[in-house]
Structure 1
């Protein structure tokens, strides 16, 4: 079994449906940074299937990758991705939930407030720049990070 096949198998219980609210997708996430590419390809296909406009799909794909990377690299498993597309509003809502940070400092910004200047540390800055809004909630179950990407101005 190739590692790609193993990673696809690790996308636990992918669920996709369309209802009166819109199209929905959810799946468990494989652990480790190599799983991010598998998730990226799966999400690209889902966004195309839903007919998300290209510019919004590109932005959403980057947002998903940043949130998923944070969850699989910096947090405890299990982690889950949830997305829903509301075509009438032109909005894609994205949530990634994990079991919480591996260590207390893993999600804190640099002491000087900068987003980072090296290869790491710019992910939430990217999420902020590409989303109409975003945020995070920590509770007893873990951490949920969310974002809304709009295909039209004022969509979220």
Structure 2
């Protein structure tokens, strides 16, 4: 764990942590979310979608935004379905693209918003004072069925 990462703050249906503004933040976020989704009994297909959207949101923040980067996950019930709300807050747009973007081929860019549009039931952006921005997505997350 780097000095800018802190242990997640958790309740039964919420976790929150600060991630380092580095490419490794994506893997760290997934390592936090995967067991949490399992403990919430989210089905495999829904978990895969949540992890993919989470990865896209964190990657976009690392590549296109200024530090700091904060990750927030929240699960709550809406009607009969479970939903997962993911929010990634960053320091606002960077003046230049992050270092990990330079190492990728051009055809590896530009699919994130399409994936989020496809997998999320809703998503958006909230602007905050001081220039920070929260990008969020809400996904259906039905529970695993008993085998």
Between 1 and 2, higher relative CO (CA 8 Å, sep ≥ 6) is seen in 2
How far off its partner does 1:140 sit?
2.3
Native 8 Å contact 1:31 1:73 kept in 2: no
Native 8 Å contact 1:29 1:72 kept in 2: no
CA distance in 2, matches of 1:45, 1:149: 17
- 5+ long unaligned stretches in structure 2: 98-105, 143-147
Q: Does 1:76 align with 2:66?
A: yes
Residue 10 of structure 2: aligned partner: 16
Q: Does 1:98 align with 2:90?
A: yes
TM-score (norm 1): 0.75
Native 8 Å contact 2:26 2:59 kept in 1: yes
- 5+ long unaligned stretches in structure 1: 1-5, 107-116
Aligned pairs for 1:1-150 within 5 A: 6-7=1-2, 10-18=4-12, 23-87=13-77, 89-103=81-95, 118-141=107-130, 142-150=132-140
Aligned residue for 1:90, secondary structure, equals: strand
Q: Would you identify which runs of 4 or more consecutive aligned residues in structure 1 move more than 6 Å?
A: none
TM-score (norm 2): 0.80
